Amino acid sequence: MKVFKTEEIRNIALLGNSSSGKTTLSEAILYVTGIISRKGDVLQKNTVSDYNEVEMNNGCSIFSSLMYTEYKEKKINILDTAGLDDFNNTIHSSLKVADASLMLINAQSGVEVGTQVQMRYVEKYNKPLALVVNQLDHEKANIEQTFEAIQSFFGNKAVIIQFPVNTGSTFNSVIDVLNFKLYKYSDESGKAKIEEIPIEFKEQAEKYREKLIESAAEGDESLMEKYFQEGTLNVDDINKGLKLSFKSGSIYPVFCVSAKKNIGIDILLDHILNIFPNPSETLPVKTKDGQEIRIDSTGVPAIFVFKTSIEPHIGEISYFKVISGELTEGIDLINNNNQTKERLAQLFISCGKNRIKVEKIVAGDLGCTVKLKNTKYNHTLTTTNVDWIFEQIEFPEPRHRMAIRALNENDDEKLSEVLNKYRNEDPTIVVEYSKELKQTIIYCQGEYHLNILKWHLDNIYKIPSEFVNPKIPYRETITRPAYAGYRHKKQTGGAGQFGEVHMVIEPYIEGAPDPTKFKLPEREINLTIRSKEEYDLQWGGKLVYYNCIVGGAIDARFMPSILKGIMEKMEEGPLTGSYARDIRVAVFDGKMHPVDSNDISFRLAGRNAFKEAFKKAGPRILEPIYEVEIWVPSECMGDVISDLQTRRAVVLGMSSNKGFEIVKAKVPLAEMNRYSTTLNSLTSGRAMYFMKFAEYAQVPSEIQEKLIKEFEAQQKEEE
């Protein structure tokens, strides 16, 4: 296979709401350019990009897929992404290495919620964007409404380069206003007959072309001067100006196609070659320490791994972008993330499941290799004596959680290994064993996301398992000061155990002065602080521990044991067994025995004194609260708000964004179980949401009573 130079390469990511036709467009491109001799079809389960069994079963993209084509002596790398936001990891990894993106707009639906959400990702990665109106051959296609929706959402940046002559089942012609020609397709070969624009469409074409020329002129001062002097620009000038404006993000060119019938594919590819930047024309790639590395084939070899996948009979495949230099087969590189040596024994160019072996890949190109030992996504590999680590892909926070367990206890270890292995393929899956909850918790993007994981466990890894509702990581704290004393005394045949501890506890408040005096119902306590220890707890919050012992009532050597006992009880709170937090403890008195006192005696005395004081200190249960942002069509707003009210939500605000409503609220995590399913049901799958942890807050009294009773009943069952 030919080795393409950096300037001969284009890297594009295909974006778009589910069912906008990304996979069909990639098939059309491969077919029209001769990479494949027969087009695949999603329904027939034979497309190049959706080649995984689970994708074929579900009829949609779930993983990103890297493909390439050759067109007019240039190479175009295509990254097909998933349209469902449950699989947005495919968009983040693809945008990280793409140099531009194509956003598909369904001519039946116009701008959808998914379009808006994915636009946020495009802006995050600062990538040039073009819009492709697809499915113009559908009987419900409405180009007028679609153009209006595009103009409403994308504003004046949306610049129409093409518009259809007819839509629906007879769709066969596109007018390209840049070339000012009509492209007519008589069959599905993808080859157009070029004709003059019919008289009835000339006025509309001239109107669009004038806007196009103005947008091109704004991209370059010399072109602007020429435009003012001559009143127009030629095709070469327009292409030059459009390329500059496109690269800077000043315009979003709008193209029109039918991927199903191969209409408009050839002229779309022409514009990609003319307008889209090659890798050397893009912004430099940044390292973690702020260095800027330009895409340059003459530099030292360096690659960024953006995706890892595991395929049967092959093993682990690492997909990468060459940032600098050239790769040759058998090259040795250093993984700068873990300082291990890797040999790239074989290099491949990928076209879906087909991989073509090559001897060299240059800067700016995308490729893959197999069986790297210690490398996964987000890793940087360079030649020796180069310490670059490129900025990593930032994946979104999980918004759905579920507990999982193996049906056979003997499979527990195997399940854990598989889950960690699966996460290398899908970094938006987070797996943790919660010591607190005694559950393995899966964090992911939604219930569909979870179902795909379950399919792999059942069908690929053959591990019978089930999902169960996850417990809530409550916290316990106190609201007022309290005193308690406890004597631990145990006599056996030999040495006994004796330790007595008196303490006062109070809520920890940031910035509050150290305690010196307490007036409590039992007694008034004056403190002389001998030492102070402050701990940031792993589960959040603080513990402040004061040694206020005077007169040698307890030896200093026993103070760490008392602290250990307190910490044990904080790890298993007195109310529900949840972690306790934000407490100050002052140990001010106690007793020892010259023979029977030892570490375990004071640990148990400290533990039980803390437990008794805690229950008298106005204990409260805290629950995790999440900030939730919901994007919802206007007509579904009422149903979504009503549902939030049943979830103890506090609505923070609402705003409108071009036909959609954005609701921001704080919702207890306990009320968010299976929310993605409910939201899909309320909005027919047209809404999306995001959530992130906000704070811990006290639960209502009636819920606290219920939680305490449930915990006490559970304790009795276990006795």
Give the CATH number of the domain where residue 544 resides.
3.30.230.10
Residue-number span of the structural domain to which 125 is assigned:
6-205+250-281
Give yes or no: residues 425 and 450 share one domain.
yes
Q: Is the pLDDT of residue 686 over 90?
A: no
* Residue 274 located in a structural domain: yes
Reported confidence tier of residue 522, pLDDT bands at 50, 70, 90: confident
Q: Burial code of 179-204, b = ≥16 C-beta within 10 A, e = fewer?
A: bbbbbebeeeebebeeeebeeeeeee
CA–CA dist 31, 67 (Å, integer): 12
* Residue 105 located in a structural domain: yes
The residue out of 572, 591, 618 marking a domain boundary is: 618
* Residue 210 located in a structural domain: no
pLDDT at 168: 95
Question: Comparing C-alpha atoms, which of 567, 570, 577 is closest to residue 472?
Answer: 577
> What is the number of other CB atoms lying within 10 angstroms of the CB of residue 693?
12
Reported confidence tier of residue 696, pLDDT bands at 50, 70, 90: very high
Reported confidence tier of residue 493, pLDDT bands at 50, 70, 90: low
CA–CA dist 432, 420 (Å, integer): 9
CA–CA dist 189, 628 (Å, integer): 48
Q: Is the pLDDT of residue 657 over 80?
A: no
Give yes or no: residues 455 and 326 share one domain.
no
* Residue 149 located in a structural domain: yes
pLDDT tens digits, 106-130: 999 999 888 988 998 999 999 999 9
The residue out of 415, 432, 466 marking a domain boundary is: 466
pLDDT tens digits, 148-206: 999 999 999 999 999 999 999 999 999 999 999 999 999 999 999 999 999 999 999 99
CATH number at residue 257: 3.40.50.300
pLDDT at 719: 62
* Residue 215 located in a structural domain: no
Per the structure, how many domains does the chain have? 5
Give yes or no: residues 441 and 516 share one domain.
no
Range with the poorest average pLDDT among 218-227, 501-510, 527-536, 538-547: 218-227
* Residue 334 located in a structural domain: yes
* Residue 525 located in a structural domain: yes
- SS3 state of residue 663: strand
Eight-state DSSP code of residue 670: G
For range 29-48, the mean pLDDT: 94
CA–CA dist 306, 681 (Å, integer): 34
Give yes or no: residues 583 and 671 share one domain.
no
Residue 695 in tokens? 């704070």
CATH number at residue 336: 2.40.30.10
Q: Is the pLDDT of residue 208 over 70?
A: yes
pLDDT at 94: 97
Sign of CA dihedral 10, 90, 677, 643: negative
Residue 484 in tokens? 């308690």
For range 9-22, the mean pLDDT: 96
Residue 118 in tokens? 């994915």
- Say if strands 100-106 and 9-16 run parallel, antiparallel, or are unpaired: parallel
Residue 5 in tokens? 């130079």
Q: What is the pTM of this model?
A: 0.87
* Residue 238 located in a structural domain: no
Reported confidence tier of residue 212, pLDDT bands at 50, 70, 90: very high
Sign of CA dihedral 258, 259, 265, 269: positive
Burial of 610 (0-12, 13-18, 19+ CB in 10 A): buried
Reported confidence tier of residue 542, pLDDT bands at 50, 70, 90: very high
Residues 316, 319, 323: CA angle, nearest 5 degrees? 145
pLDDT tens digits, 304-361: 999 999 887 788 999 999 999 999 999 999 999 999 999 999 999 999 989 999 999 9
What is the pLDDT of the chain when averaged over all its residues? Answer: 94
